[in-house]
Structure 1
Amino acid sequence: MTPADAEAILRENFAPWIQRLGLRVEEVGERRMIVRLPWSDDLAREGGGLSGQAMMAAADTATALAVAAARGGFVPMTTVQQSTTFQRPVVGKDVLIDVRVTKLGRTLAFAEITLASEGSTETAALATTVYAIL
């Protein structure tokens, strides 16, 4: 699957409010994907940091795309669990979301996600997810 293929899945299968996040697929690998969440003042909370809700939605969406890529195409799925730990704020920079699918079964998929400000080696947030493949 190419980044363009993954972006087509995003356009065709996700809600309009997810589309407005402006997510862009940067890289697709075997059980790995990097997605960019562009900075937007509209997604900032009081104090100027990117809202956790936006980062969690972006991580959730990026994971669904990574699972689709690992399976070779989109299939209906739903989030069973997502746990996110925020470590530092993101201010004025795009966020790179690095998803690694750690287990891909017939009915469940597991992933670990690292979110970092573009240009930073420090983690902004870590997440784990479990998806049910329907």
Structure 2
Amino acid sequence: MRKRFVSVLRSVAAVVGGYLTVALGTILTFNVLAGQMTVNSGPLQLILGTIGAALSGLAGGLIAGIVAPRFPFAHVAGVLIFLIIDTVSVVAKGPGPLWFDLAGSSVLAITVLIGGWIIASRRESQMAPRPAV
């Protein structure tokens, strides 16, 4: 029973921790390093913002995959649920064009999935049977 409880806690922590990593990374990027990005931002600001968002997404996917007790890629997909909710709220209240907000969210979603894929493939290769020498 205790083992199951710890597994459930780790599952919840993986998804929430992955999303919080993405959220804090993007807040740090857009409010401190690159500045608030709009469709009228300069090229350097857009490049820095995109790099920061990609690194935030990758870190969130890695965190979710590492913390997950099993099936890291499924837990990373759980992070996407929070990203979808976040995207809907940004699109609903944002004054910018729809494509701009969707492009930013797509960068986060793709890099979160890549981070989870990295962890899932590493775990899979560690569990794969090795030939006897």
Query: Could you state the TM-score of these two structures normalised by the residue count of structure 2?
Result: 0.32
Larger helix proportion of the pair: 2
Bigger Cα Rg: 2
Q: Comparing both structures, which one devotes a greater share of its residues to strand?
A: 1
What TM-score do the two structures reach when normalised by structure 1? 0.32
